Amino acid sequence: MGANDGRVLEEGSAEETILRVAGKLRALSNSGLYFADNPYQIETFEQMLALSAELTELVDARPLAEIQRQFFDDTRYVSPYVVVDTAAFDDAGRILLIQRKDNGRWALPGGWCEVNELPADGAVREVWEETACRVALSGFLGIFDNNYHGGGGLHHLYCLLFAARHVEGTPIVTRETLDVGWFTPQNLPWDALHAAHPARIRFAFEWQQEPSRHPFYDLPRGHLHPTWQHNTRQE
Amino acid sequence: MGANDGRVLEEGSAEETILRVAGKLRALSNSGLYFADNPYQIETFEQMLALSAELTELVDARPLAEIQRQFFDDTRYVSPYVVVDTAAFDDAGRILLIQRKDNGRWALPGGWCEVNELPADGAVREVWEETACRVALSGFLGIFDNNYHGGGGLHHLYCLLFAARHVEGTPIVTRETLDVGWFTPQNLPWDALHAAHPARIRFAFEWQQEPSRHPFYDLPRGHLHPTWQHNTRQE
């Protein structure tokens, strides 16, 4: 996410709220622009998009003009993006973590899913790229919505979490990482984890004890949309 | 997906291959443009992007100029998009399906996940918007990669599949649907299903019989990336 350049806001809930509101505003503007059928609507949605950029600038170190350029060049951000994380265990039951270069926090290996790649292949690939270890997937643990697990940024992310067994290789520091290693729940750097990762690491250890448990997903908040879409024709 | 306007290609594997290759080429170009640090690289990736548009035109009814405009305006398509589908069952064990207006095929209710929306809320919302039925989620069934289940289009999609119980409401035809109804495995229009849906509907019925079963995901194909990212520093 955009670094804070020293303005009033600290890392944490205010910054996350601003990014969440700005992101939603941006997506609504993009949907609106897509379906707009007159110049007035286009103007309205472009103004909303400009407001979203203005809001984003509060917590993003880049100049407003650059944020605006990005937002107006990319008006197809209407859906969350998808990333994959892997909880890889060795035979001793330890979990594989990396220390991220961008912010020094510890995290599960993971990253963007790529176009034309299976989620499962992405999970194996990210472990390979970030640690040089080969793993075999052993299960799908669930979907973690970054909006609710502290991983806020410019885009709303859904994280698909896999479990895996270590197959081969000693973890190696790569150019994306500062450090890498195997951890037990006892010696794991809980206070130095990347914000979104404590929940998924805890779940992974629980799953390891009880592999029959159901996959995790954030329970519905229950805000249904209005009924404007329904006509009166009965089945 | 883009309609075929009468050119040589039929619906099916050739069209899907072209869209898959064009989509990957487009994503690679977009990543390349993002990281490019000299004009030569930019020119190379822009040429790749133009080739991707040219390829897409083979199976897309729109004029090439329009496809090019879309591709060059949206250079942030680097990751698959995410959709949600819901297998909602009534007390008799029947499943809720809709007939899509765009192609007349039957499918599970579902659609794009929205920015700032939980996957679970999206699953409930789509059933509500497309059928006017209220459902309560009862489980997460898995991830279905549309590249491997016949749902090809301009974008690579991951589908998150939920199960749900019917709570309230008679299914109603909406402006997105031609028809809607409850089906048993015996009277379900298997031959008139949208391409990507037989696998997930079969899985949903199996899960209904055995709710303890593990979530579905497409098994890794196992193509690991080369080792260029690794340096030699050992842990």
pLDDT tens for each residue of B5-24? 333 334 456 777 778 778 88
Are A128 and A69 part of one and the same domain?
no
CB-based contact, B172 to chain A, within 8 Å? yes
pLDDT tens for each residue of B189-222? 999 999 899 999 999 999 999 999 999 999 988 7
**Residue A44, in any domain of the structure:** yes
pLDDT tens for each residue of A60-103? 888 989 888 888 877 767 788 899 999 999 999 999 999 998 88
Output the pLDDT for position A152.
63
Cβ-in-10-Å burial (0-12, 13-18, 19+) of A23 comes to buried
Out of A128, A220, A229, the one facing B118 most closely (by C-beta) is A220
Range in A196-200, B17-21, B58-62 with the lowest mean pLDDT:
B17-21
| The pLDDT of residue A149 is above 80 | yes
**Residue A220, in any domain of the structure:** no
Chain B environment of A119 (Cβ under 8 Å): 143, 145, 158, 217-218
| The pLDDT of residue B104 is above 50 | yes
Contacts 24+ apart (CB under 8 A), A49-57: A49/A25, A49/A75, A51/A25, A52/A22, A52/A23, A52/A25, A52/A26, A53/A22, A53/A26, A55/A18, A55/A21, A55/A22, A55/A25, A56/A2, A56/A18, A56/A19, A56/A22, A56/A154
CB-based contact, B203 to chain A, within 8 Å? no
**Residue B183, in any domain of the structure:** yes
Chain B environment of A80 (Cβ under 8 Å): 82, 113-115, 117
**Residue A234, in any domain of the structure:** no
Domain membership of residue A24 as a residue range: 13-73
Residue at which a domain ends, from A26, A52, A73? A73
| The pLDDT of residue A109 is above 70 | yes
Mean residue pLDDT of chain B comes to: 84
CB-based contact, A92 to chain B, within 8 Å? no
What is the average per-residue pLDDT within B148-167?
A: 87
**Residue A216, in any domain of the structure:** no
Quote the number of domains for chain A. Answer: 2
Q: What angle do CA B66, B70, B74 make, to 5 degrees?
A: 170
CB proximity under 8 Å: B 9-38 to A: 20, 23-24, 26-28
pLDDT tens for each residue of B114-155? 888 899 999 999 999 999 999 999 999 999 998 888 766 677
- For residue B33, give Cα distances in angstroms to A42, B7, B46, B79: 28, 32, 8, 15
| The pLDDT of residue A20 is above 80 | no
> What's the CA gap between B163 and B215, in Å, rounded?
11
- For residue A215, give Cα distances in angstroms to A90, B35, B138, B140: 21, 36, 12, 7
What is the distance in angstroms between the Cα of B228 and the nearest Cα belonging to chain A? 9
Q: What percent of chain B has pLDDT over 90?
A: 47
What CATH number is given to the structural domain containing B121?
A: 3.90.79.10
Are A114 and A157 part of one and the same domain?
yes
Out of B28, B77, B116, the one facing A156 most closely (by C-beta) is B116
- For residue A182, give Cα distances in angstroms to A110, A205, B49, B70: 15, 13, 41, 45
Higher pLDDT, A155 or B96: B96
What is the average per-residue pLDDT within A149-169?
A: 88
Q: What percent of chain A has pLDDT over 70?
A: 87
* pLDDT confidence tier of residue B224, bands split at 50, 70 and 90: low
**Residue B116, in any domain of the structure:** yes
Chain A environment of B212 (Cβ under 8 Å): 212
Chain A environment of B170 (Cβ under 8 Å): 234-235
Residues 6+ apart with CB under 8 A from B223: A121
DSSP A162-193: EEEEEEE---EEETTEEEEEEE-TTTS-GGGB
| The pLDDT of residue B234 is above 50 | no
Are B88 and B195 part of one and the same domain?
yes
What would the two tokens of residue B126 be? 């789509």
Are B174 and B96 part of one and the same domain?
yes
Are B67 and B87 part of one and the same domain?
no
Residues 6+ apart with CB under 8 A from B180: A235, B96, B97, B98, B99, B130, B131, B171, B172, B173, B174
CA-based nearest residue in chain B for residue A80: B115
| The pLDDT of residue A224 is above 50 | yes
Out of A24, A132, A214, the one facing B116 most closely (by C-beta) is A24
Interface touch B121/A215, C-beta < 8 Å: no
Chain A environment of B218 (Cβ under 8 Å): 118-120
pLDDT tens for each residue of A34-57? 777 778 778 888 888 888 888 888
Chain A / chain B CB contacts < 8 angstroms: 214
**Residue B184, in any domain of the structure:** yes
Do B116 and A24 meet the contact criterion of CB atoms below 8 Å apart? yes
DSSP A46-58: HHHHHHHHHHHHT
pLDDT tens for each residue of B24-51? 888 888 877 877 777 877 888 888 888 8
Give the DSSP H/E element, type plus range, for residue B131. helix B119-131
| The pLDDT of residue B232 is above 70 | no
Interface touch A80/B134, C-beta < 8 Å: no
C-alpha atoms less than 13 angstroms from C-alpha of B76 in its C-beta half-sphere: 15
Output the pLDDT for position B229.
45
CB-based contact, B198 to chain A, within 8 Å? no
* pLDDT confidence tier of residue A229, bands split at 50, 70 and 90: very low
Are A149 and A185 part of one and the same domain?
yes
Higher pLDDT, A106 or B230: A106
| The pLDDT of residue A131 is above 50 | yes
What is the distance in angstroms between the Cα of A120 and the nearest Cα belonging to chain B? 5
Out of A124, A147, A235, the one facing B181 most closely (by C-beta) is A235
Are B150 and B133 part of one and the same domain?
yes
Interface touch B24/A160, C-beta < 8 Å: no
**Residue A221, in any domain of the structure:** no
